[in-house]
Copies of this chain bind each other. A is one copy, B any other.
Amino acid sequence: MSATSSGGGRGAPGGRASSAPLLGRDSEPTLFELSHPGRSAYSFRTTGVPPVPLDELVPETHRRSEAVRIPELSERDLTGHFTRLSHRQFSVDLGAYPLGSCTMKYNPKVCDAIAALPGLAGAHPAAPASLVQGWLALLIQLEEALCIITGMAGATLQPAAGAAGELTGLLLMRAWHESRGQTRGTVIIPDSAHGTNPASVTLGGYRVVTVPSDERGCVDLAALRAVLDEDVAGIMLTNPNTLGLFEEDIEAIAGAVHEVGGLLYYDGANLNAILGVVRPGDMGFDIVHMNLHKTFATPHGGGGPGAGPVAVAEHLVPFLPGPRATRSRTDTDGPDLVWQTPERSIGRVHSWHGNALVLARALGYILVNGGDGLHRVAETAVLNANWLRHRLREHYEVPFDRPCMHEVVVSARRLRQEHGVRALDVAKRLLEEGFHAPTVYFPLIVDEALMIEPTETESPETLEALADALNRIAEEAASATSEPLGHYPLSTPVRRVDEARAARTLIPTADARR
């Protein structure tokens, strides 16, 4: 670089597709490296508002002494940077993403169009109900649909994700017990539960009691009975559970928990398996959260936004968070649809009305599919998972090899024991094949777990290719002549990443680089 000769070479080049795996495999510079003082992309309306000197606007003690350093780029370099970053990112739109427990199904583009409607995206959340009747109607329609799907009586749409739904549910549990003059101390969760469950229990002010799974992969009913007492506020379950197995004893479990005055919480992360087949309400659950970003095809956004509405049985409706969109019951000349906070509400759980545009997307998906379509979604998701289970059986252990629901957990234990190849190696090797990896090492109760959730939107051909790839990898693991699996992936934008070093020499921002 002859930076001095040009005077321009202070930063990194922005116009070079240096990070596009399409062309070369260099890293993409950061925004900060691309920044060049004096460049800009922004532009504001011409308003005619006279500018007032800053010192008349901000009292001196509160005034900034120097501007926040934000990268300075032309729109061209801004666009280049983020377009290139997007080429370093796998996504559902690029290929199958069989990440267990996450339901990475295809997200229909019509829902993008819905979320972009100016009449929805441009509404202010603090506007009085009379001015946003469309939004209230939408929320009510979604709430009703979710209640029908789960067999519940009412719902809050505020929680912004599944975990927020869990905590909301636990607060509802607490409020209900308190309303009955009871203070209970524990919540039971199975050892196969997702990490958010115990974390939420703690935040809900409860102590976690873990029940083990039995040899069939389900809650050990005897062990459950042993821990049930009057201190138990409730139990959190997902059904099918995180092994992809239906808890067949659910009626007995519900009976036992209810008998000691506990409530049943349904973690809806796996709802995709049972849409239109069986409803949490009918199984005896009192509280249900849903992950709309999973079951109802709203995209995961690289890690969010999601939406985690909580539906409850009749006796819990008075405790729901508020405000809640409701049909007006008065004959006044106010608007038809109003905000109402339930009488004994636990209060707000979101700054406004939840991730509203995500809610709109989910309703769109529900309406396109309809009751009949949602049922077929579940059937097909379960069919796909079972088909994979059959195809993978030969090369992988299937710890609980009986009909699974929407996902299947296999184990690479044999591969590790016999060839030193871990679940992680299988996952990284699969990346090389053009698929995203399954979830690994979860649920914790399965050794070298590979949790595979194909979802219903992947075709039989794709399943075939996925099964072939996984089986081929198992064969490679056993073969002396193949590249060791630990070397993979080879052609991804970066190869295996040093996670230990990241934690050791923590660099959480570009300014922390030493």
> A residues within 8 Å of B by Cβ?
1-3, 5-18, 20-26, 34, 36, 39, 43, 74-77, 79-80, 83-84, 87-91, 93-96, 106, 108-109, 368, 387, 391, 431-435, 457-466, 468, 489, 491-493
Contacts and interface: CB of A to CB of B under 8 A. Distances in A.
26 contacts: A1-B464, A5-B391, A6-B387, A7-B460, A8-B459, A8-B461, A9-B464, A10-B461, A14-B459, A14-B461, A14-B462, A15-B461, A15-B462, A16-B434, A17-B96, A17-B435, A18-B434, A18-B465, A20-B90, A21-B491, A22-B87, A22-B90, A23-B433, A75-B108, A77-B459, A79-B93
A370 to B, nearest CB: 12
A106 B75 CA distance: 8
Nearest to A9: B464
Given A16-B433, A76-B458, A109-B75, A88 B22 contact: yes
Given A24-B491, A433-B24, A464-B1, A84 B94 contact: yes
B463 A8 contact: yes
A463 B11 CA distance: 12
A457 B75 CA distance: 9
A3 B463 CA distance: 11
Per CB-CB distance, the 7 closest pairs between chain A and chain B, nearest first, are A8-B460, A17-B95, A15-B462, A13-B465, A76-B106, A15-B96, A17-B434
Given A17-B90, A22-B88, A23-B492, 7 more contacts: A13-B464, A13-B466, A14-B462, A15-B459, A17-B435, A25-B491, A75-B106
Q: Is the interface of A mostly helix, strand, loop or mixed?
A: loop
B462 A13 contact: yes
A118 to B, nearest CB: 10
Contacts of A387: 6
B16 A96 contact: yes
A8 B466 CA distance: 13
Contacts of A16: 95-96, 433-435, 462, 465-466
A93 B15 CA distance: 9
A431 B368 CA distance: 45
Contacts of A43: 368
A83 B74 contact: no
A22 B490 CA distance: 11
B493 A22 contact: yes
A377 to B, nearest CB: 13
A457 B74 contact: yes
Given A459-B8, A461-B14, A493-B22, A83 B76 contact: no
A13 B459 CA distance: 8
A190 to B, nearest CB: 32
Contacts of A34: 461
Contacts of A96: 15-17
Contacts of A5: 391
